[in-house]
Amino acid sequence: MKFKSSKVTNIKVSDIEGMDPIDITIDDQGAGKGRITFSCEGKTYSSFWPAMGTDISRFVVRIDDDYLRSNVGGPSANVDDIEAFKKYLMDLISEIKEEEELNAVEIGECIHAVMLNETVESIGHSLSNSFYAAAGMRGPWDLEVPRMPNYKYKRFTEIAAIVRKALKWNLDQNGGDA
């Protein structure tokens, strides 16, 4: 049986204008291994890195937002623009209707599929094979899905910036040792 201890540090950042407090837990397991967990506004982000080449605090301070996001389960920088996607499809349906490649019932079914569904996946799977054939596509995977910036990602980057400031502060408080 083996026992091993690690250095765990908790930091609470409060009095942040326009933001809930942030709770940060740093679990520095030595030899370039560690875990960070931080929570704010009802969301918790966490990741373990087994081979960083440095301690967890210094590592998180130097990595970019997208790498941090992808490891801690943060939101994507861009999301599907469902309204633009629906407009794109309605324009495509209008073109198909003008070219008389589908009958009135099939056109109605296409419009119904676009208007009644709220996700790219559900719309794509609700459109008929005859729609895809008339549009010169093989299936839903050929649809062009517009993207837009994700406001949740912007908020995540604001939280991440404060986490980095707190980690730097902690390093400074401990003479450079996390």
Side-chain-side CA neighbours of 84 within 13 Å: the count stands at: 10
pLDDT tens by residue, 88-119: 999 999 999 999 889 999 999 999 999 999 99
Q: Is residue 2 part of a domain?
A: no
Q: Is residue 37 part of a domain?
A: yes
- Shared domain for 62 and 100, answered yes or no, is no
Global pTM reads: 0.77
Residue 147 neighbours by CB under 8 Å, 6+ apart: 78, 79, 80, 81
Strand partners, 147: 80
The total number of structural domains that make up the chain: 2
Give the pLDDT score at 98.
Answer: 92
What share of the chain has pLDDT > 70, as a percent? 98
Strand partners, 46: 37
pLDDT tens by residue, 135-157: 999 999 999 999 999 999 999 99
What share of the chain has pLDDT > 90, as a percent? 87
Return the residue matching tokens 């950042």: 13
**Average pLDDT of span 166-178:** 83
Which residue pairs from 129-134 have beta carbons closer than 8 angstroms and sit at least 24 positions apart in sequence? 130/102, 130/106, 131/93, 131/96, 131/102, 131/106, 134/96, 134/99, 134/101, 134/102
**Strands lying side by side in the sheet with 43-49:** 7-13, 22-28, 34-40, 43-49
Q: Which has the minimum average pLDDT: 131-135, 139-143, 174-178?
A: 174-178
Strand partners, 47: 36
Q: Is residue 163 part of a domain?
A: yes
Q: Is residue 67 part of a domain?
A: yes
- Shared domain for 135 and 97, answered yes or no, is yes
pLDDT tens by residue, 31-79: 789 999 999 999 999 999 999 889 999 999 999 999 999 999 999 999 9
- Shared domain for 12 and 57, answered yes or no, is yes
Q: Is residue 178 part of a domain?
A: no
Q: Is residue 1 part of a domain?
A: no
- Shared domain for 118 and 58, answered yes or no, is no
Give the pLDDT score at 3.
Answer: 85
- Shared domain for 97 and 137, answered yes or no, is yes
Q: Is residue 35 part of a domain?
A: yes
**Contact call for residues 48 and 60 (beta carbons, < 8 A):** no
- Shared domain for 89 and 128, answered yes or no, is yes
Give the pLDDT score at 5.
Answer: 76
Structural domain range at position 142: 79-149
